[in-house]
A = this chain, B = another copy of it.
Amino acid sequence: MKTPTLPLFDRPEGMTTHDYAFARLRQAIMVGSFRPGTSVTIRGLAEALESSPTPVREALRQLTSIGALQVLENRRIVVPHITPARFEELISLRIALESHAARRAVAHLTERQIERISAIDDSIEDEIRRGDQAAALIANQAFHRTIYTANPDQIVMPLIESVWLQLGPILGIAMEHVSELYVVDRHREAIDALRRRDEGAVADAIAADIREGIGGFDQQAIARLLKLAA
């Protein structure tokens, strides 16, 4: 199967074909629908999306330039493989970027926004209880994104999402082999710190959340997962 099935995705009216292709592929990669090493072809995707090569190629170019896909020497496009070293690198980058983003968001968050963030955290646990891993994952990303984007002049969010995209494939594998998502309860800690406007504590909570979440897999567990992906 060269071209995996794409998750559902409503196409907003007025959206260009190119933007639609980009958004749909991006979403698929972000939630781990593609396995590392999967090759993606322009024509295959154009057919799947019922369009033509031109807009699909543009979408693929964008995805490669943000690290979500990789172009090989022979110009073919694949979902990047993940080595343990690369994985560790991505996690440490997440910590650096997101604790920075969280710290700089604190001053901009309103009480109302903090309540909304707290509500998102509740919905994460709902989805986990319901067993919908993909939904829990998306809600978890919304939790983080809502915090960071409170800063209106922020530049960092696209960079963070680039890292998320690069973690997507390993995340998909992990979800297949973990019967149940456990989410470390650092979110409450972060929310409390937000209420206290304690920038340092917020940054620490976010860093711990990342480290103990997906980052908490030790090298052995990752190596095992990556072998499964090969």
Q: Cβ of A90: which chain B residues have Cβ within 8 Å of it?
A: 155
Q: Which of the segments A32-40, A55-63, A118-126, A218-226 contacts the partner chain?
A: A55-63
This protein's copies in its complex = 2
A102 CB, min distance to chain B CBs, angstroms: 12
Q: How far is the CA of A88 from the CA of B107 in the complex (A)?
A: 15
Task: Assess the B159–A162 pair: CB atoms within 8 A.
Answer: yes
Closest B residue to A158 by beta carbon equals: B67
Could you tell me the distance between the alpha carbons of A162 and B161 in the complex, rounded to whole angstroms?
Answer: 13
In the complex, whether A133 has a CB less than 8 A from a CB of chain B is: no
Contact of A62 among B18, B61, B153, B166 (CB under 8 A): B61
A207 on interface, CB distance cutoff 8 Å: no
Determine the chain B residues whose CB is within 8 A of the CB of A62 once the complex forms: 61-62, 64-65
Decide if A93 is an interface residue (CB 8 Å cutoff): yes
A78 within 8 Å of B by Cβ?
Answer: no
**B18, B92, B151: which contacts A104 (Cβ < 8 A)?**
B92
Cα distance A98–B66 in the bound complex, in angstroms: 18
Which B residues are in CB contact (< 8 Å) with A93? Answer: 100, 155-156, 159
0/1 per residue, A64-89, Cβ < 8 Å to B? 11110000000000000001011011
Distance A65 CA – B88 CA, assembled complex (angstroms): 25
Q: How far is the CA of A93 from the CA of B67 in the complex (A)?
A: 19
Are A86 and B153 CB-contacts (below 8 A) given A58-B58, A65-B65, A92-B104? Answer: yes
A100–B151 alpha-carbon span in the complex (Å): 22
Choose from B64, B153, B159 the contact partner of A159 (Cβ within 8 Å): B159
A149 to chain B, nearest CB (A): 13
Nearest opposing residue in chain B for A104, CB measure: B92
Tell me if A163 counts as interface (CB < 8 A to partner B).
yes
Known: A61-B62, A89-B155, A89-B156; 11 extra A-B contacts, CB below 8 A, are: A65-B65, A66-B66, A83-B153, A88-B153, A89-B104, A89-B151, A89-B153, A93-B156, A97-B97, A155-B163, A159-B159
A sample of 16 cross-chain residue pairs with beta-carbon separation below 8 angstroms, ordered by A number, consists of A58-B58, A62-B64, A65-B65, A67-B158, A83-B153, A85-B152, A85-B153, A86-B155, A89-B104, A89-B153, A89-B156, A92-B104, A93-B156, A96-B96, A97-B159, A155-B166
